[in-house]
Amino acid sequence: MNHFGAGLVYSEMVASRAIMEALKNTKVRKRLHFFDASIEPYLVSMQIVGNDPEIMADAARFSEQLGATCVDINMGCPVKKVVNIDCGAALMKDEALAAKILRAVVAAVRIPVTVKMRLGWDFQHINVIELAKMAENEGVCAVAVHGRTRSQFYEGTANWQIISEVKQSLKIPVIGNGDVKDIFGASELLKSCNAVMIGRGACGRPWLLRQVAAHLDNAQIPKQCNIQVLDTIHSHLALILETYGEDKGTRLARKHLDWYSKGYPGAAAFRSTVNSEVTASGMYALVDEFFSGLVAHES
Ligand SMILES: Cc1cc2nc3c(=O)[nH]c(=O)nc-3n(C[C@H](O)[C@H](O)[C@H](O)COP(=O)(O)O)c2cc1C
């Protein structure tokens, strides 16, 4: 994995119960694909999700032992199967439980603890400022705010104004998140917070992170040529296949290839062939055929 100049990268969220299950059962452990801090030469935050303070504390301890730089508590996931079991964004509705989880996790580890939340459950219940202040009081080191409510999922526009109000209410750093798609969006959002988190904007364009970092440093923006795009896709594909195997890996790779090909001529046809490809060698061949054509066109 390459961090593309990001100051901090996060693991995808891992259920705290699954982490504890993995400690007892090697089969579960193999399925979870934890990162390996000994080979990841940059800052990795392990994000955990759950609703039981003790299990969350145990999962945080395990993350610390794995070598995570920080542990992040997920209070923003909007997905039904997560909120229906009182995890993720559902914790924003239960401030007392949220406080217990934060307290237990902060007490459990020496590494910094951060939390990621949304604006609230819905527009009638915007409580991000109260919750973020409570997190600060419980000893959390930074709060990331995705400027949408849970009810919005990913619809509408992220509200950067409320992110700015959170920043004004806290002493600890606030990481702003939502709808940053380019270098200008990043510097605009940075006026309202202390750091910027980028999600979908980097899908299929991971070099955006390096470009944003350069822009914020007033350095020259590195350009991405098609040959570098091809190299990036090759290493990404290799990692996916190595981690998940051919069957699951080829299925998982499809959405990434979809993102990588967006905006290029012939992308729709490329995507439809990729979507029915089930072998690793076939997938590499399709990638080479499509992107090498673009490289040749560029040179
Ligand atoms: C496919 C997908 C997976 C995501 N997984 C996580 C996750 O595991 N943990 C998390 O905190 N946020 C997750 N998010 C939310 C993003 O981190 C981010 O908060 C959201 O997409 C808004 O930021 P953006 O506009 O930069 O994408 C996910 C988003 C998408 C689209």
In this predicted model, which residue has the larger pLDDT, 12 or 186? Answer: 186
What is the 3-state secondary structure of the chain? CCCCCCCCEECCCEEHHHHHHHHHCHHHHHHHCCCCCCCCCCCEEEEEECCCHHHHHHHHHHHHHHCCCEEEEEECCCCHHHHCCCCHHHHHHCHHHHHHHHHHHHHHCCCCEEEEECCECCCCCECHHHHHHHHHHCCCCEEEEECCCCCCCCCCCCCHHHHHHHHHHCCCCEEEECCCCCHHHHHHHHHHCCEEECCHHHCCCCCHHHHHHHHHCCCCCCCCCHHHHHHHHHHHHHHHHHHHHHHHHHHHHHHHHHHHHCCCCCHHHHHHHHCCCCCHHHHHHHHHHHHHHHHHHHC
Cβ 130 under 6 angstroms from ligand 1 = no
Nearest alpha carbon, ligand 1 atom 18: 199
Average pLDDT, the chain: 93
Which pLDDT does position 23 carry in this prediction? 80
Ordered structural domains, the chain, with CATH:
9-216 (3.20.20.70), 226-298 (1.10.1200)
Q: Is the CB of 180 under 6 A from ligand 1?
A: yes
15-55 residue pLDDT tens? 999 888 888 887 766 667 666 666 666 788 999 999 999 99
Atom of ligand 1 lying closest to residue 180 CA? 26
**Ligand 1 pocket check for 13: Cβ under 6 Å:** yes
pLDDT band for position 297 (cuts 50, 70, 90)? low
Q: What pLDDT sits at residue 28?
A: 67
Name the residue at shortest CA distance from atom 28 of ligand 1: 199
pLDDT of residue 85: 97
**What is residue 228's predicted lDDT score, i.e. its pLDDT?**
86
**170-174: average pLDDT:** 98
Catalytic residues: 77
Does residue 177 have its Cβ closer than 6 Å to ligand 1? Answer: yes
Q: Cα(177) to centroid of ligand 1, in Å?
A: 9
